[in-house]
Structure 1
Amino acid sequence: MKRFSSILILLLIPIISFSQSAPNQPNTKPKLVVGIVVDQMRYDYLTRYWERYGDGGFRRLVNEGFNCKNNHFNYIPTSTAPGHASVYTATTPAVHGIMGNDWFDKDLNEEVYCVRDLSYEPVGTKDKAGRMAPTRLISSTITDELKVATHGKGKVIGVAMKDRGAILPAGHAANAAYWFHGKDEGQFVSSSYYIKKLPDWVKEFNKSGIAKSYKKDWNTLYPIETYTASLADDLPYEEKFDGEDAPVFPHKLPKIWKKNDEYDMIKSSPYGNDLTADFALAAIEGEQLGADDITDFLAISFSSTDYVGHRFGVDAIETEDTYLRLDKQIERILTYLDTNIGKGNYTVFLTADHAAVHAPGYLRDLNLPAGYRSSKPMATRLKDFLSKKYGTDKLIRNYSNYQLYFNNEELAKIGVSSKELQGVVAEELIGYEGVQEVYTATQLWKNDYVQGFGYIVQNGFSKKRSGDVFIVQSPMFIGTSYEKGGTSHGTPYIYDTHVPLLFFGKGINQGYTTERTEIPDVSATIAALLGIGFPSGTTGTPVSQVID
């Protein structure tokens, strides 16, 4: 009998060993997924301020999570709306249809805003700020797929200062998206697309006075002399607030409140991120996110980094201070999740919607070939050229997002095909100062680019929504409106495309990769982690090192 028992134990050992080393289940079910998009965050903001970050924010995400060090946008324009849409749809504007923050609608013959939909009413305000919806987004999001997979039981909430930063991540099927309406109201609002009225917890938050508490001076978090990762405080590469004598600390927000659209001032300071975190945590409690075993999703976008970056630039003390303060908010969120959802019960990813270029004035002072350039001289020169060649100055309907839209009715009148005019315009433009490359719609229809500018332009091209000619401008040049200070983005250059991608929490491996990853990979990875359907237009690939 003893011998039989021994033999049985020996036979069971391989079975036990096999079960212990068996592959992971095909899905991981955190109670809550938190997606964080930091508006206008360059990858090197992680490394530049690393020594100044605390252990519980960005450094915790990197040290305990997975860091994709070579993560890029793979399309243009690199701007807020297509950035958020691409993160959450696992694809590019060519598929999801969000061509920019605004773009020219060829059917309507007018510029349209990415989330504007006048068929819906504002909720929480009488201002048109609430007449928004995700109806121009033509692909599903990872948040939509979670709703589908859980038969609507998993809750999805989007939160941001910007409407597009809340709506596009929340997707079509969300419980709600909330964004901050400033001016003289200072309220988080929504749209009748999602809800008929604000929940009690949102009403209570709006009445609490939290937003008003940020009507205060903005001084540096630490002694200003310790901000050695930035340039001096008063340089010509920064734009001051209206009513200020110079763009220097302290910024006395209450004193210049009226001149800067009142509560909109909060957006342009780090306090906007603080307020976003306040509201995000209130959403977790108010909606009981992560309270059961059905996965919920909270999409947070920190918008104030973009407002600060545009005004003060990449190298300003204001930008450094904003990130040091944001680091504390990231730590605050993670600590809250540890306490209220439980360590090992939630998954987080953090990325950005685009990066930004150093102020061209600063680069030019270092003898780099950078500067400012207006599109008006180019447009005027092209118009004159076409008038002389074809006898009409009405061939171009619109120029936006680096694209030219032709007037097809006028082309028909003179008997010229769109294809012919594309070639003529491209050949003319390539000789203009400030133009690096030119692509025609015909080229983008017929070719399959796999690298270089062609690949990036093609990923941002839609047959239905894009123009007839794409222009790639020269590197390190931005519009003349930034000559007075600040920076911008939107190009295919690495300073606009290289952004962080961090994964953390349940189901996430610890480590890093320097292999190239791309923004559409974010939601593809989360879908693979959760074991749910991929967004409908997915072109990204799960980052296998993150979840294997």
Structure 2
Amino acid sequence: MRTTILLPLALAASCCATAAPARTPAAPQPAAQAPAPKLVVVMAVDGLPQEQLVRYRAQFGQGGFRRLLEQGAWFADAHQAHGTTVTAVGHTAILTGAYPYQHGIVANNWIDRATGEEIYCTEDRAHQYIGEATGPHDGTSPARLKVDTLGDQLRYATGNRAKVVAISGKDRGAILLAGKNGTAYMYMEGSGNFASSTWYMQQHPAWVQRYNAGKPQDRYYGKTWRPMLADSAYAMDAEGPLFALSYYSESGQPDAGYYKRLKEGPYVDELTLDFARAAIEGEQLGANPAGVPDLLGVSLSAHDYVNHRYGPESRMSHDHLQRLDRMLAGFFTYLDKRVGFDNWLIVLTADHGFANSAEFSQQQRVDAGRVDGKQLIAGLEQHLAAAFKGVKPIANASLPNVYFDQQALDKAGVKRADVEQAARNWLLAQTGIADVYTRTRFEEAGGTGTRLDLLMRRAWHRYESGDLVVVPRAYWSFGSGTSGATHGTPYAYDTNVPLLMMGKRWITPGSHATYAEVVDIAPTLATLLNIRPPAGAEGRVLTEVLRPAGK
């Protein structure tokens, strides 16, 4: 039995179709709207909690987050409304409008029941990166995605004339935004290039080849990331010295070690936005000769890496967000000039939030800590072996999912429900565990009616998820380290994310205290693009922000 502890926490949870919640009906849709935008930009800031957007708002410049907050619509109570708040699941929600129980992306990694092996959310061994080394678990296709996306619908509605491109520092961040019929480009940590995979094409277009040939990633070699604001600006952060992080390699020249190190700071985001500019120009996005809308997905990955390593309360996280703000300002100005402010629309959100590091939370007198997942599963195995002599009920685990060996149970004549109850009782007695969901509990109609139950049921997929899903207590996580932070739970610090929309001709500016979900993005954009929403979409159209034509 092999146990994998996922950091970030891959908390796979919830739901049968009958358990999907009823959403409050939206107000009637405006009767008339402006023609569709020429370019829709959907941007995800990986690992950005709503709390950080609010806490550092006063220090933002004029053209980035502040512009979105003042010239766009902002939902302060927006959520990734499932219990599996990790990168793959959150990115999938954005443009499918679906929850994991439908779309099937239940974690970053999970166990394949057919083989018993751990699989990665976007791995596909039938495809390879173009011109780059490809490992067996690298993300190369959306084959495991069980539903379509907004981009897929846009391509269908326009006879494939619309262009759909997604770019990210992470393969899953690009692929799960691009969908089945778009094109994904991802940062290669071995070379610093951006590459696609053979799922999308056999050879890169000329503009990609030119971009990579210029080696823009090498311009950061030897640079040092230092705080950009005055020392006093960081007084609200966790105590500690100001930082200086240099980007180099042991070999003395740009190499794989250096390119990987670039991911843990602002420069990979700068490269991602540079490549997005190259894609806009190379593909003529927003100036489609067919006169149809185009869709650009951009996932900015570095904030997640920074928060994992240092915690969202850190000075590094604070400074990174300020740097990202200035990068966004430059990118938005570029779009104004290239596409025209009257012609483009943006939605900015995040795939998940973040918990503070356990050590920081403890300093704040919060009950927080880490659960050593390997020890937890080893103890559970020992307990079940004693309770069911001669049977090894657990086949594998990739926390928070635990998978049973159903064949072994059947052969021994042991009822699954008995093993579930014995495992649940033991796990609930362990430090840091809040709840344990069993397959039987998930498959039963209804639930307790609590928010936790709702989110967990939404995120559980009948085939892909485990027979047990273990939920840590608030401010607790799976891991054995003594520093850094993570995410993945159904608690508010992980679910509450920014949701900002800006488009002069389509979006009415203003802040909204009304509840919204990330799954609302796809049906809202489908309305603006005059296309049908993705098949699995369960979100509502955010009619309160749509501007009627001529106003």
**TM-score when normalising by structure 2:** 0.89
Alignment of 1:22-421 (within 5 A): 23-25=30-32, 28-128=35-135, 132-174=140-182, 176-183=183-190, 185-215=191-221, 216-234=223-241, 249-254=243-248, 261-292=257-288, 293-392=291-390, 394-421=392-419
Q: Distance in 2 between matches of 1:230 and 1:255?
A: 30
Structure 2 counterpart SS, 1:68:
strand
- Structure 2 unpaired stretches of 5+: 1-28
Once the two structures are TM-superposed, the CA of residue 88 in structure 1 deviates from its matched residue by 1.3
Q: Distance in 1 between matches of 2:428 and 2:287?
A: 58
What amino acid maps onto 1:73 in structure 2?
A: Q
| CA displacement, residues 62-117 of structure 1 (integer Å, 9 cap, x when unaligned) | 11110010011221221000110011110111110001111011112111001110
| CA displacement, residues 229-249 of structure 1 (integer Å, 9 cap, x when unaligned) | 322334xxxxxxxxxxxxx62
Q: Distance in 1 between matches of 2:480 and 2:399?
A: 16
CA contact (8 A) 1:166 1:178 kept: yes
What amino acid maps onto 1:267 in structure 2?
A: K
Structure 2 vs 1, CA of residues 357 and 256 (structure 1 numbering), >3 Å: closer, same or farther? Answer: farther
Q: Distance in 1 between matches of 2:341 and 2:469?
A: 48
Once the two structures are TM-superposed, the CA of residue 160 in structure 1 deviates from its matched residue by 0.5
Structure 2 vs 1, CA of residues 520 and 403 (structure 1 numbering), >3 Å: closer, same or farther? Answer: same
Once the two structures are TM-superposed, the CA of residue 26 in structure 1 deviates from its matched residue by 6.0
Structure 2 counterpart SS, 1:151:
coil
Structure 2 counterpart SS, 1:165:
helix
Worse-superposed segment, 454-463 or 26-35: 26-35
Once the two structures are TM-superposed, the CA of residue 363 in structure 1 deviates from its matched residue by 1.2
CA contact (8 A) 1:119 1:131 kept: no
Please name the residue that 1:491 is paired with.
489
| CA displacement, residues 482-529 of structure 1 (integer Å, 9 cap, x when unaligned) | 41x211000111111110000111411111211211121111211122
CA contact (8 A) 1:120 1:131 kept: no
Q: Distance in 2 between matches of 1:316 and 1:122?
A: 35
Please name the residue that 1:442 is paired with.
440
Once the two structures are TM-superposed, the CA of residue 131 in structure 1 deviates from its matched residue by 6.1
CA contact (8 A) 2:91 2:176 kept: yes
CA contact (8 A) 1:124 1:188 kept: no
What percent identity do the matched residue pairs reach?
33
CA contact (8 A) 1:27 1:530 kept: no
Please name the residue that 2:475 is paired with.
476
| Greater length-normalized contact order (CA 8 Å, ≥ 6 residues apart) | 2
Q: Distance in 2 between matches of 1:424 and 1:375?
A: 18
CA contact (8 A) 1:29 1:530 kept: yes
CA contact (8 A) 2:101 2:460 kept: yes
1:453 aligns with 2:452: yes
Structure 2 counterpart SS, 1:263:
helix
Please name the residue that 2:15 is paired with.
none
| CA displacement, residues 362-420 of structure 1 (integer Å, 9 cap, x when unaligned) | 11122211112212332222212211111135210122241211001110121012233
Q: Distance in 2 between matches of 1:156 and 1:403?
A: 34
Once the two structures are TM-superposed, the CA of residue 256 in structure 1 deviates from its matched residue by 5.8
Q: Distance in 1 between matches of 2:325 and 2:41?
A: 16
Structure 1 counterpart SS, 2:262:
helix
CA contact (8 A) 1:159 1:165 kept: yes
Please name the residue that 1:241 is paired with.
none
CA contact (8 A) 2:95 2:150 kept: yes
Structure 2 vs 1, CA of residues 263 and 393 (structure 1 numbering), >3 Å: closer, same or farther? Answer: farther
Please name the residue that 1:462 is paired with.
461
CA contact (8 A) 1:77 1:401 kept: no
Structure 2 vs 1, CA of residues 538 and 23 (structure 1 numbering), >3 Å: closer, same or farther? Answer: closer
CA contact (8 A) 2:193 2:215 kept: no
CA contact (8 A) 2:120 2:138 kept: no
Count of matched residue positions in the alignment of Structure 1 and Structure 2: 511
- Structure 1 unpaired stretches of 5+: 1-21, 235-247
Q: Distance in 1 between matches of 2:46 and 2:353?
A: 8
Q: Distance in 2 between matches of 1:256 and 1:321?
A: 26
Please name the residue that 2:508 is paired with.
509
What amino acid maps onto 2:508 in structure 1?
A: N
Q: Distance in 2 between matches of 1:498 and 1:391?
A: 45
